[in-house]
A and B are shown apart, each in its own frame.
Chain A
Amino acid sequence: MEQIISLKQYEQLLKGTRKQYGRLHTNCFMLAPETERVIEQGRLYFEETDQGLLFFVDEKRYYQVYFHISPDVKKLQMIPKKKPVLIRIIYMQGGKSHLQNKIDKLIAEAGFSLLDSTTQVYTVAKDNLVVMGAMYERMENLLKEYGMRLVVAGEEHLDEILKLRDSEPELKMFHIPFHTREEELQIIREGGYACVVDHSNSICAARKTERMMGSLYSPWFCVKSEYKDKYGLGIVMTGFEMKYACEHDLPRVYGWIANDNVRSWNYHKRLGVICSGKVADEWVLQENRG
């Protein structure tokens, strides 16, 4: 793997490959600012493959790969790395093309396993508050009786939140893209982390939200094991998220749910989520342990 050091180099690599193979098929949905961000942080690498290029974003615990390959590609070559490699392919539900099916087959032949299929869902925050607002209020008030309260996280909470996140067994590392500490602090300053704390200010549950392209994204939330399924902490934090979205003129709140996570589907259906039509397949190549 070779490190990319500038957007110009990235652009030239793509141009050269397009010149050689014509139009390229890609799973890359990074816009220019995101590409620049990972280059500046020294986290973007590339490898040449048969009839195309592979870009690796170092997410610290794994690599995420974006391919740009000729539709005529016959083989996807990839040597296992020291960390697991993730390929995420987003497509419209029911609309997988012949080419996408062919690439799925090549990915499987390269040694990847299909880890998850997830569906994107959203909630219209304003509508959600009309229907669910009273319940959110009730649940938040109930917390006080248990000696807990919902707070917008401050910088002093960051380490405890990240520790809770990393100890949550139901949260997959592939759903936690890397942010530098400064970026995490910035998200905190923008009010993007909410948590429920107990009487001693210890964190019982936390939720991360990110403002992105006119919408609010909810990458994960987690609840300490001893508080799970007891106090409705997830619901309280969903209420916080809906209010946050409305206050910041962000009409929709987006998230992804694993297709086989029945518990999560049941929970989110009660909250009135709508499927956006986008589905993501997540393929993983395990690390080279040799």
Chain B
Amino acid sequence: MRKKLLEVLADAKPGFEFEGKTDLVDGGYLDSFDIITLVSELNDRFEIDIPVEDIVTENFDSVDAILALVEKLSEE
């Protein structure tokens, strides 16, 4: 799943190194446009439905946080 997520992220922001960063939002790398675009991609590629209440910056600040969100919703 991590590999697939990294592919989605690479498509969303080509050339950007996501791995190892824990401040994707707080560091100013992703804004709300990027997050919502990513939400749409994640919904499509992982066949999940990210609810509004989960669209908070904490869930998008690192690859691990995004992965945890996707895994949680995939299990539901």
**Residues in A lying within 8 Å of B, measured CB to CB:** 7, 10-11, 14-15, 18, 23, 26, 28-35, 90, 213-215, 250-252, 254, 278
We find that the number of chain B residues with CB closer than 8 angstroms to chain A is 23
Cα-based distance from A251 to B30 in the complex (angstroms): 13
For the residues of A in contact with B, the DSSP-based class is mixed
Chain B contacts with A in 8-67, Cβ cutoff 8 A = 23, 25-33, 35-36, 40, 43-44, 49, 51-57
Ranked nearest first, the 5 interchain pairs of A and B with the lowest CB-CB distance are: A214-B28, A215-B28, A214-B26, A29-B32, A29-B36
Residue from B29, B43, B56 in contact with A31 in the complex, judged by beta carbons closer than 8 Å: B56
| Interface pair B31/A215, CB less than 8 Å apart | yes
Give me 6 A-to-B residue pairs in the complex whose CB atoms sit less than 8 angstroms apart, sorted by A's number. A7-B52, A7-B53, A34-B32, A35-B52, A215-B31, A254-B31
**Contact B56–A32 (Cβ < 8 Å):** yes
Query: Which residue of B26, B49, B54 is within 8 Å of A18 (Cβ)?
Result: B49
Question: A23-B43, A23-B44, A251-B27 are contacts. A213–B32 as well, Cβ < 8 Å?
Answer: yes
> Is B56's CB under 8 angstroms from A214's CB?
no
- Contacts of A214 on B, CB cut-off 8 Å? 23, 25-29
Query: How far is it, in angstroms, between the C-alpha of A15 and the C-alpha of B40 when the chains are bound?
Result: 14
Q: Are B53 and A31 in contact (CB under 8 A)?
A: no
Q: Say whether B27 contacts A31, CB under 8 Å.
A: no
A89 smallest CB distance to B (angstroms): 11
**Residues of B with C-beta under 8 A to A7:** 52-53
Instruction: Kindly provide the distance from the CB of B65 to the nearest chain A CB, expressed in whole angstroms.
Output: 14
Taking CB atoms, residues of chain A closer than 8 Å to B54 are 32
Query: CB-CB < 8 A to A18: which residues of B?
Result: 49
Min CB distance B58 to A, Å, is 10
Looking across the interface, which residue of chain B has its beta carbon closest to that of A217? B31
A29 touches B33 (CB 8 A): yes
Question: B44 contacts A32, CB within 8 Å?
Answer: no
Assuming the contacts A31-B56, A31-B57, A213-B26, asked whether A11 and B32 have C-beta atoms less than 8 A apart, the reply is no
Which residues of A are found within 8 Å of B23, using beta-carbon distances?
Answer: 214
Q: Output the least CB separation between B13 and chain A (Å).
A: 10
Are B56 and A213 in contact (CB-based, < 8 A)? no
User: Given A31, A90, A251, which contacts B28 in the complex, CB threshold below 8 Å?
Assistant: A251
In the complex, are the beta carbons of A213 and B53 less than 8 A apart?
no
For B43, list chain A residues within 8 Å (CB).
23
Set of chain A residues within 8 Å of B52, measured between Cβ atoms: 7, 10-11, 14, 32, 35
Judging by beta carbons under 8 Å apart, are B53 and A30 in contact? no
